Amino acid sequence: MFLSAPTSRGQLCAWVILLFLCSGGWVVAQTPETDLGLEEYPHARIVFRSQLEDDDYVLALGSFKKTEGMWSVDHHQRLSGKLTRMTLELPSTHSAEDGFHFYARQLKKLSARELYRCDGRECGPSNSWANNHFKVIQLYGLDQHQHYAAYEIIQEKKAPYYVSLYAVLRGNKRVLVQLDILQSDKAPAESIATDPDSLLRLFQTQGFYVFPGAVADDEAGQSHLLIKPEHVKTLVKVLQRQAQWKVALVGHDYRGNAPANQQHDSLRYAESLKAALVEEGIAASRITTHGLGSLAPAGRGNLSARVEVVKLSN
């Protein structure tokens, strides 16, 4: 669209208003094209949005801490891929917690794995998140009213998605939400383990979590759960902290085999994870194993097989 220069005060006002509207200043939220298809927050206003290739995206996996006079995230992962970013302002009657949970619930339905989460002052200064990490000054808000989480979404035979979600209440009572969705162009060299504190929180709130391990066939056609040591070590840390806990490892298999074979294979997945935990010092008496095959389809998500770690009542 081409605009001619204004020749009068009336034309100047109309020209400025048109430019403002075209810039997205009052555009109702509409999610840019991503394969995730997240629902937009009702009646939110887009402050900024962009989509670009980023070869050095920093995924924060910890809070901001002061070291040698500098504020920095204590743990992070560098990634690359197609990055979709949105900064949203919520309607005046909505809270930062509303915005955070609106997107967190959708990500959970996509079987997103929570890598890290913090709330309030435990996240560190909001100023650091706004200016140092996201580089969006409008996100500078009240430290006690902020929420952050990082997620990984695995889709078989595809590179993973990574999502950063941040919501904050500003001093002027406005609520902003930052949503970064990175469609990775390759899997990281090392799998990203969930933060132990975040994993403990998941157990305490929902009572279980899906162990991050894909299933693959060996040369003989025998399926195996691919267990990466970093994920085992995180689970071991939680079980060591909560020495009174007992857990059930529940295997699932949705591949096109006979039901009896599915149950047999899913039990093997659970038993292989148990063996890895016992090898790291967790008592075998604290762990039971079960194989359900395809009898629990509700939590299948994008995976053809999985093992759930379920906290048992004491």
pLDDT over threshold 50, residue 5: no
pLDDT of residue 35: 59
The larger pLDDT score, comparing residue 149 to residue 9, is at: 149
**For 148-187, b where at least 16 C-beta lie within 10 A, e where not — what string?**
bbbbbbbeeeebbbbbbbbbbbbeeebbbbbbbbbbbeee
pLDDT digits (tens, 9 = 90+) for 77-123: 999 999 999 999 999 999 999 999 999 999 998 889 999 999 999 99
Average pLDDT, the chain: 86
pLDDT over threshold 90, residue 151: yes
pLDDT of residue 124: 94
- CA geometry: angle at 181 spanning 176 and 185, to 5°? 160
Q: Tokens 């919501």 sit at which residue?
A: 167
Q: Tokens 């995730």 sit at which residue?
A: 36
pLDDT of residue 314: 67
Percent of the chain exceeding pLDDT 90 equals: 63
pLDDT digits (tens, 9 = 90+) for 42-78: 999 999 999 999 999 999 999 988 777 777 888 899 9
Mean pLDDT of 202-224: 82
The larger pLDDT score, comparing residue 302 to residue 257, is at: 257
CB 103 within 8 A of CB 132: no
Q: What domains appear along the chain, each with residue ranges and CATH number?
A: 18-184 (no CATH), 196-311 (3.30.1330.60)
Cβ neighbours for 103, distance < 8 A, ≥ 6 positions apart: 38, 41, 165, 177, 179
Among left, alpha and beta (phi > 0; psi -120 to 50; other), residue 163 is: beta
